Amino acid sequence: MADERRGRRQTWWPEDAAERWRGDEARGGCAVIVRPRVEDYALRHTTPEPPCLAAVAAETREVSAEPYMMVGPLEGRLLAMLVHMLRPALVLEVGTFTGYSALAMAGALPPHGRLITCEIDPRHAEIARRHVAASPWAGRVEVRLGPALDTIAALPGPVDLAFVDAHKTAYAEYYEALLPRLAETGVLAFDNTLHLGQVIAEDPPDEEIAAIRAFNALVRDDPRVEQVVLTVRQGLTLIRHAPQRPS
């Protein structure tokens, strides 16, 4: 079992991850946030992904040039834990990709819960819909093709959990659109907020990293919320409404 899961673990990282870690560490940065051997240990001590998620991962590795865009089994299990704890009536995902994270969360939904996931790429949406249809949660997950901001604007009620893993340059816009629609005890989860550690660069190397840095500063300085930045994979920020202070 351990060897099998160790083999599965390697599919989520570049083959030269350990070498990149050592090289970037020597230069004061990090190619991966957590050492690959530590990440591997964590995965081997985490509940494995169910068969339907393994099927999504296998197809994505086969057909996509960017399989690393999947959240992977560690973050997928973390998202499922959040759903278990929140017991949400409505989960919204911005950025379906091939459906791994949507199905990871769907498997933890309470009986009254449903999940809407938004994707802009028709090919990705088709793959996700096919895997959703083959899963035990087909009747509770809706894959919507089109701009996520349109879906957010038309939501019929509050969102209990929103997971955002989409265009990084639009993170601030998604945040401002979602926060007023977040349930009192709800959580916003934004992925890739450490971007493999590149956010610490004095001079951001590209527009995407600059946008993530600006988003992180926006949330940090927003008195409406409390947040924590986790060093899971490429960084995951959890945000909730700030508690009401006694007057």
Render pLDDT for 183-215 as a digit per residue (tens, 0 to 9).
Answer: 999 999 999 999 878 888 877 778 999 999 999
pLDDT value of position 206: 85
Q: Are 72 and 42 in contact (CB under 8 A)?
A: no
Per-residue confidence (pLDDT) for residue 247, from 0 to 100: 52
Q: Are 117 and 96 in contact (CB under 8 A)?
A: yes
What CATH architecture is 68-241?
3-Layer(aba) Sandwich (3.40)
Could you tell me the pTM of the whole model? 0.86
Q: Which one has a higher pLDDT value, 111 or 233?
A: 111
DSSP E strands, the chain: 90-94, 114-119, 141-145, 159-164, 182-191, 225-230, 236-241
What confidence tier does 121 reach under pLDDT thresholds 50, 70, 90?
A: very high
CA distance 143 to 176: 22
Please return the burial class of 145, using the count of CB atoms within 10 Å of its CB with bins 0-12, 13-18 and 19+: middle
Span of 18-27, 51-60, 136-145, 150-159 with lowest mean pLDDT? 18-27
Compute how many other C-beta atoms are within 10 angstroms of the C-beta atom of residue 48. Answer: 15
